[in-house]
Chains A and B, each alone.
Chain A
Amino acid sequence: GIQVEQSPPDLILQEGANSTLRCNFSDSVNNLQWFHQNPWGQLINLFYIPSGTKQNGRLSATTVATERYSLLYISSSQTTDSGVYFCAVDYGNNRLAFGKGNQVVVIP
């Protein structure tokens, strides 16, 4: 099956700092989503981004499908940004394959 690799696995940020999370995938995909899993376990949709760049407040994402990677940018991080960020790719018939996630901790 398809491989989805996320880096870095763990990240500690000072509040106000910027960061970039990376997602590499091993095969062509139909689309890609970024999720934020909050401390209560909820998976919050951040971006649906099969290609190109999107922005939502302090977050933005870029997917370069031809090179099989996506980036999630967090600017001016806040403590509420803490949690696990998952990249998930839509491939094959009808399923999402998730990466192992980026564990982000933002400290005040």
Chain B
Amino acid sequence: EPEVTQTPSHQVTQMGQEVILRCVPISNHLYFYWYRQILGQKVEFLVSFYNNEISEKSEIFDDQFSVERPDGSNFTLKIRSTKLEDSAMYFCASRVMAGNTIYFGEGSWLTVV
């Protein structure tokens, strides 16, 4: 069964450093998402992406965050200058069209020290 893949599975970074999290959505999917989950808390929406542009973003997704689809398969989340509170599991997700089932990747665990 096709799946969303994410890399790296775990990254430790120093505060202030830039981080890029990578995702390969399911190949025929058109809608892409990033969510995050701080340890022990619920999953929170960050951003949705469709037709090569951001379609919606939450208040969490401030200027230090950016997303990109650099080629036909990858979808990336960049955190420009990491803070301690950015430590979380980051999930990439995709779906064929709005309203359909969303499929999540296995997550990238980011630890900022």
A-B contact count (CB 8 A): 59
A-side interface mostly: strand
Contact of A66 with B by CB under 8 A: no
The stretch of A14-22, A57-65, A91-99 in contact with B is A91-99
Contact of A100 with B by CB under 8 A: yes
> Is B102 within 8 A of A96, CB to CB?
yes
Task: State which residues 23-68 of B face A: CB under 8 Å.
Answer: 31, 33, 35, 37, 41-45, 48, 50, 55-56, 58
B-side interface mostly: strand
Whole-angstrom distance between the Cβ of B38 and the nearest chain A Cβ: 12
Chain A hits for B35, CB < 8 A: 96
Contact of B104 with A by CB under 8 A: yes
Task: State which residues 74-101 of B face A: CB under 8 Å.
Answer: 89, 91, 98-101
> Is A31 within 8 A of B104, CB to CB?
no
The CA-CA distance from A93 to B107 in the complex, in Å, is 24
Whole-angstrom distance between the Cβ of A21 and the nearest chain B Cβ: 15
The CA-CA distance from A39 to B54 in the complex, in Å, is 32
Task: State which residues 94-108 of A face B: CB under 8 Å.
Answer: 94-101
> With A96-B33, A96-B102 given, can you name 12 additional A-B contacts, CB distance below 8 Å?
A30-B98, A35-B104, A41-B89, A41-B107, A42-B104, A45-B104, A90-B99, A94-B55, A95-B33, A96-B43, A97-B45, A98-B43
